[in-house]
């Protein structure tokens, strides 16, 4: 990786490392060391350490004393908590800030849906990435930087879980959501947004049938 200005290099290292993590380049049991990452990305210790610190703060990595860093493996319980948090956060912000969404915003959201439609049918990561970009694009329109970072962090953790479990991501409700949003029907739009987020609560294993008394 070419040496550039300090801030630019830090961002490049962070982006490259995070991209490799979510693409499954590292096994979940891999211990990442500063020395290994310095050699892999061809940079000095400082930007590697900065990237590791950021990813640890975002709950993507965990520091193991005297060993290195391990990719965190979110549990299904943590995933449920994140989804419920997202549902409350995204829907409440929509209901309280919908008046700031103008025609240009609607066009951008439709463009995001169009990007999803272009993804190859079997490209899991592209579908999930488009899904993330749609939700972040919508939330960015509210202008709350702190809440945006919280949502971004939650989506990052979800990404790790979905990559590990190979879950799919669909945007079937996004176009309908944009249609109702454009009409000004915020109640229906919020219901569709909540349904889009909550659909990820479907359990990985089928439920055990209840035994009926004979």
Which residue, among 54, 24, 53, 49, has the nearest Cα to 38 in the 3D structure?
49
Q: Where are the alpha helices (DSSP H) in the chain?
A: 6-22, 34-41, 45-57, 76-97, 103-117, 124-140, 145-165, 174-183, 186-198
CB 180 within 8 Å of CB 188: yes
Name the domain boundary from 71, 91, 121: 71
Question: How many CA atoms within 13 Å lie on the side-chain side of 164?
Answer: 20
Residue 213 is assigned to a structural domain of this protein: no
Residue 209 is assigned to a structural domain of this protein: no
Same domain, 58 and 114: no
Same domain, 115 and 174: yes
Q: Of how many residues is the chain composed? A: 214
Predicted structure pTM score: 0.74
Name the domain boundary from 14, 40, 71: 71
Q: What is the CATH number of the domain that holds 40?
A: 1.10.10.10
Q: Model confidence over 50-108: pLDDT tens digits?
A: 999 989 988 889 999 999 999 988 788 888 999 999 999 999 999 999 999 999 999 99
Range of the domain at 179: 76-201
Same domain, 168 and 94: yes
Residue 180 is assigned to a structural domain of this protein: yes
At residue 3, the pLDDT reads 47
State how many domains the chain has: 2
Same domain, 116 and 171: yes
CB 9 within 8 Å of CB 3: yes
Q: Model confidence over 8-19: pLDDT tens digits?
A: 888 889 889 988
> Which of 57-61, 143-147, 196-200 ranks highest by mean pLDDT?
143-147
Q: What is the CATH number of the domain that holds 149?
A: 1.20.120.530
Which residue, among 41, 36, 34, has the nearest Cα to 56 in the 3D structure?
34
Same domain, 13 and 47: yes
Q: Rounded to whole angstroms, how far apart are CA atoms 50 and 67?
A: 17
Tally of CB atoms within 10 A around 149: 11
């Amino acid at each position: 990786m070419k040496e550039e200005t300090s801030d630019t290099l830090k961002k490049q290292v962070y982006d490259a490392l995070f991209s490799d993590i979510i693409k499954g380049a590292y096994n979940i049991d891999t211990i990442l060391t500063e020395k290994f990452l310095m050699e892999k990305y061809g940079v000095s210790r400082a930007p590697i350490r900065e990237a590791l610190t950021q990813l640890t703060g975002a709950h993507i990595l965990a520091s193991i004393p005297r060993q290195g860093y391990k990719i965190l493996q979110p549990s299904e319980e943590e995933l449920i908590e994140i989804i419920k948090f997202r549902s409350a956060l995204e829907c409440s912000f929509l209901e309280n800030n919908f008046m700031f969404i103008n025609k240009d915003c609607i066009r951008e959201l439709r463009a995001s849906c169009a990007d999803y439609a272009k993804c190859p049918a079997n490209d899991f990561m592209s579908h999930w990435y488009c899904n993330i970009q749609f939700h972040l694009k919508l939330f960015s329109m509210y202008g709350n930087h702190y809440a945006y970072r919280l949502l971004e962090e939650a989506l990052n953790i979800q990404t790790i879980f979905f990559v590990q479990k190979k879950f799919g991501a669909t945007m079937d409700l996004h176009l309908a959501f944009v249609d109702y949003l454009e009409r000004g029907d915020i109640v229906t739009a919020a219901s569709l947004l909540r349904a889009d987020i909550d659909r990820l609560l479907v359990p990985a294993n089928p439920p055990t049938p209840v035994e009926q008394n004979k």
